[in-house]
Chain A
């Protein structure tokens, strides 16, 4: 059965800290890995990764994929209270039309 696992489940840090969120997967015919930020309602898209070793970056957020070891990390540097959210990892596979989501990492950034 296809599986996406995120760690840690929750994390509390102080403003200015750097955090690393992990996503590992076991799926058949991996195609892409996506990171989303979920604050109150809708997941909002952050990154899509398809190639190993290529870092995607947007401001203080960056992400990289390791297809050999079957995981991805999401880094957030100089965290702010506005980064508090649940971060979701989802995997798309060839041969299906669905994205498989992990349980998410709940990040709380304290002022």
Chain B
């Protein structure tokens, strides 16, 4: 069964460092998302991506964040200068259509710890 894969599963980084979280969405999906979940809190939307551009982003997704689809399969989230409060589980998701029509499938997540 096709699945969304994320790497690494766990990343520890020092405050101020740049991190890149990687995702391979399901191959025939067109919409890609990043969500995050701070420990004990709800899943929060960060950004959605369609047709090689950001289609929507939340207030959390400030200038420190960027996304890219560098080739036909990978979808990355970059945090330029990490802060302690960026520590969270980051989930990549993909769907065939947007949130209007089809379900999103989530990867296993990358646990980011900023020290």
Contact = CB atoms under 8 A, between A and B. Distances in A.
B50 A97 contact: yes
Contacts of A43: 43, 91, 106
Q: For the side of the interface on A, what is the size category?
A: 20 to 34
Interface string B87-113: 001010000001111111111110000
Nearest to A4: B42
Interface of chain A: mostly helix, strand, loop or mixed: strand
Nearest to B50: A97
B99 A41 contact: no
Interface residues of B, number: 28
A103 B108 CA distance: 19
Contacts of A99: 33, 45, 99, 104
Contacts of A62: none
Given A97-B56, A102-B42, A44 B103 contact: no
A88 B58 contact: no
Contacts of A98: 33, 45, 48, 56, 58, 99
B11 interface: no
A42 interface: yes
Interface of B: 4, 31, 33, 35, 41-45, 48, 50, 55-56, 58, 89, 91, 98-109
Interface of A: 31-32, 34, 36, 41-45, 48, 88, 90, 92-104
7 contacts: A42-B91, A44-B106, A45-B104, A48-B102, A92-B99, A97-B98, A98-B45
